[in-house]
Amino acid sequence: MMYRAVIFWVNLVLRLIFWGGAVVLGFWIYQRGPDGFIEDVTDLGHKWWGEYEKYSGEVKAFQQQQEHQVRIKAGQKQKRGWR
């Protein structure tokens, strides 16, 4: 019985989110028109893609820095010893 109650509430919340999103999307299209909606979505896509590129570049630079530090440490360890 508890399982069914939890599943009911989870389904209710998911349905509210879905239908609420559909209503908001409908109002957005109604307010801006199809051309304005497409323009807005395109602008959002370009902005998100730019942010993705910015942060992926930072991640790549950080990874290269870490690899460089590991190589430096590995080179220092190889120089030690009896050779």
**Range with the largest mean pLDDT of 13-17, 32-36, 61-65, 70-74:** 13-17
Sequence-separated contacts (24+) of 1-7 with Cβ below 8 Å: none
Kindly state the percentage of the chain with pLDDT values over 70: 92
In tens, the pLDDT along 48-82 reads 999 999 999 898 888 989 888 888 888 776 555 56
Can you give the pLDDT at residue 75?
76
More confident residue, 67 or 21: 21
40/48 Cα distance (integer angstroms): 12
Query: Residue 58 corresponds to which tokens in the numbers above?
Result: 């930072």
Block residue for tokens 């009896």: 82
45/38 Cα distance (integer angstroms): 10
φ, ψ dihedrals at 82, nearest 5°? -85, -10
Query: At a CB cut-off of 8 Å and minimum separation 6, what does 80 contact?
Result: none
